[in-house]
Structure 1
């Protein structure tokens, strides 16, 4: 019988590269320990050459996207990963078809975010999602707000969505202070329109989270939620080990 592999995070990254590095920093912040050995080990594959996820989905090539992501996930597993994370929420449109192609768990960032939101008391019934057009069209978050715990995901105008897309691609080229100011202004528009909570539904937007303080509604950042979950999983194995973590 093969021995159980030690806990190791595999990051399917490069979508985009800055968001991937940002996520690694969030992992370190969420851990907050003093010694090297107390930080979770991770392996990262930067798949920056992967075609644009929004374009593949718009062309009906979601299965192709899932297959290509699975190839990367399997390489990470072969390298020692025991759990996978994908810092790209547009790519989560294919999570339902991607996970069965893998032997190890792939965190569903949208599901984790929905779980956090659904546990809030009092309930947050009207949700604003700042995300790519593909993420909204594929209902990446909305599919988790049905059944016994329905939530309304607010519709946005074409003009508003164009501004969000311009902001996302601007951040991909390098985050600047005005990006944060613009994101806050757009989030404030959403709040004024009735949003009781806002999800930063694109990983690039997580770079501007600090600018969202004091907005008046809860802000849910899937990258920070995922980092906290992975640290929780790591600690559950770290403290259950009788010997040192490799």
Structure 2
């Protein structure tokens, strides 16, 4: 396969973008600098909050911001665009309509992976922002494959949002509280797996015994980005890799 250039629309948030970049490097089969993937990374940290844009039905500022980024990618002649932000994919169709460059669909690829790994009757827990959960983008994608989707109760969803925004603000994160939500969904709610459906959640180190059940949407995006860029995956991981 011919080598291709990858565009990364980042900044949502910056730490998640940094982790995405690191994961692409770590997971690309390469023995020298020249065998790695050429990337154009836009760390557009000032993009309006995605969850707020959805919940307040005020999408125009967000779409206007990313449209300018797509023009930069077109000038840079990238072949594919990765957006390491789950919530932004609510606007996937509108974003794709802005550019002829294929945008990798993080939501679709994650659910396809789950179907292949856990089967078409899998019950899937969704751990994500209020914006992602309320729009139902993961639930709808699961239902396309006849899989069941479960979202946390109100109290646990509030804890997840607190976890996400604490991480963004560089405040102490209640990792154990987050792990307890995963444990409840796996052991009490009988989910086969849970989706880490926010890139901030991908940055949090969780206990080893929970990793086999946690499908990291960011890692799925990393894998697909590598493949579409004409390279081979060194090690295919879809759970957080902190070893």
Which TM-score applies when normalising by structure 1? 0.86
Q: Indicate whether 1:232 and 2:233 are aligned.
A: no
2: CA distance, partners of 1:22 / 1:39: 16
- Specify whether residues 212 and 105 from structure 1 end up closer, same or farther in structure 2 by C-alpha distance, changes over 3 A only: farther
Deviation at 1:62, TM superposition (A): 2.9
- Specify whether residues 216 and 200 from structure 1 end up closer, same or farther in structure 2 by C-alpha distance, changes over 3 A only: closer
Match of 1:214 among 209, 212, 217: 209
1: CA distance, partners of 2:20 / 2:121: 26
**Root mean square deviation, CA, Å:** 2.2
- Specify whether residues 225 and 155 from structure 1 end up closer, same or farther in structure 2 by C-alpha distance, changes over 3 A only: closer
Partner of 2:101: 104
2: CA distance, partners of 1:144 / 1:191: 20
Partner of 2:240: none
2: CA distance, partners of 1:229 / 1:126: 23
Check the 8 A contact 1:15/1:88 in 2, yes or no: yes
Partner of 1:163: 159
2: CA distance, partners of 1:27 / 1:236: 10
1: CA distance, partners of 2:67 / 2:162: 29
Alignment of 1:26-175 (within 5 A): 26-147=23-144, 149-174=145-170
* Deviation by residue 1:99-150 (Cα, 9 ceiling, x = unmatched): 1111100111000001101112544521101100110111121121224x21
Match of 2:8 among 11, 25, 43: 11
1: CA distance, partners of 2:9 / 2:225: 14
- Specify whether residues 41 and 175 from structure 1 end up closer, same or farther in structure 2 by C-alpha distance, changes over 3 A only: farther
* Deviation by residue 1:160-195 (Cα, 9 ceiling, x = unmatched): 01100000011112376x544332222112212221
- Specify whether residues 125 and 84 from structure 1 end up closer, same or farther in structure 2 by C-alpha distance, changes over 3 A only: same
* Deviation by residue 1:2-24 (Cα, 9 ceiling, x = unmatched): xxx96111111101011010100
Which TM-score applies when normalising by structure 2? 0.87
5+ residue gaps in structure 1?
238-246
5+ residue gaps in structure 2?
233-243
- Specify whether residues 230 and 120 from structure 1 end up closer, same or farther in structure 2 by C-alpha distance, changes over 3 A only: same
Runs of at least 4 residues off by over 3 Å: 121-124, 178-182
Check the 8 A contact 1:10/1:77 in 2, yes or no: no
1: CA distance, partners of 2:171 / 2:40: 25
- SS at structure 1 position matched to 2:26: helix
- Specify whether residues 175 and 109 from structure 1 end up closer, same or farther in structure 2 by C-alpha distance, changes over 3 A only: farther
Partner of 2:182: 187
